Amino acid sequence: MTLGTRSVSISLIAACCGATLAAAALKFDAPAGWVSKPPASAMRIVEYTLPKATGDTEDAALAVFFFGGQGGSVQANLDRWIGQMTQPDGRPSSAVAKTTTFTTTSGLKVSLIDVPGTYVAEMSPGSADHFNKPGFRLRAAVIETTEGPYFVKLTGPAPTVAKWDKEFVGFVKSAR
């Protein structure tokens, strides 16, 4: 089966604390099969549902975030994402996390992380309630641009994330 792509432009003009942040725009090629949905919060500039793999009980979710040049260092974000996963054998998630870096054809530096385990992130920022989703996988990227970093986060059941892994990497590599 051949999957087509569609180019999406992500544009954002955000207001924070009474000031307007600089407009930012980044383009990606979104794979066929991903379902676009309205962002669930102002922090998310685009969201997709990635349909579940056979046997999984839920879809995966992908969101792209841009905070107007804010959001912390690359390493701080990688560490935060690692902390959103726990391991069934008690090992630290940093022991199983795989990190890679590359530069896109348009010259953007990208840091990717891949962490399997139990997803235990806060249900919403600052919440005392946490997810508890064993058998999940978190794939995420920091894309460094002149406007500031973009953050791409994919979470879902491990088989569903595996099903869409090639498309996820292609989506991130298509950033321009």
- Residue ranges per domain, the chain? 27-158
Expressed in percent and rounded to 5, the helix, strand and coil fractions of the chain are: 15, 45, 40
Angle at 114 between CA 162 and CA 60, to 5 degrees: 45
pLDDT at 18: 28
For the chain, 176 residues long, give each residue's pLDDT as a single digit of tens. Answer: 334 444 544 443 333 322 222 334 788 999 999 999 999 888 888 999 999 999 999 999 999 999 888 899 999 999 999 999 999 999 999 999 999 999 999 999 999 999 999 999 988 888 889 999 999 999 999 999 999 999 999 999 999 999 999 999 999 999 99
pLDDT at 93: 98
Give residue 50's pLDDT.
Answer: 98
pTM for this entry: 0.85
Instruction: Give the pLDDT score at 57.
Output: 96
The b-or-e profile of 14-24 (16+ CB within 10 A means b, else e) is beeeeeebeeb
| pLDDT recorded at residue 176 | 92
The model's pLDDT over 63-83, given as tens digits with 9 standing for 90+, comes to 999 988 889 999 999 999 999
Residue whose token pair is 């460094």: 144
Q: Tell me, what's the pLDDT at 148? A: 92
Structural contact between residues 111 and 141, judged by C-beta atoms closer than 8 angstroms: yes
Residue 25 is predicted with a pLDDT of: 79
| Cβ pair 122, 99 in contact under 8 A | no
Which pLDDT score, from 0 to 100, does residue 105 have? 92
Pick the CATH number of 27-158 from 3.40.1000, 2.60.40, 1.10.3470, 3.30.1360: 3.40.1000
Phi/psi zone of residue 10: left (φ > 0), alpha (ψ -120 to 50 degrees), beta? beta
- Given this model, what pLDDT does residue 125 score? 80
Q: In DSSP terms, which residues pair with 60 in a beta bridge?
A: 50
- Quickly list H helices, 11-157: 74-83
Alpha helix (H) residue ranges in 93-164: 158-163
Q: Identify residue 138 by its one-letter amino acid code.
A: L
Task: For strands 148-157 and 60-66, give the pairing.
Answer: antiparallel
What is the C-alpha R_g of the chain?
16
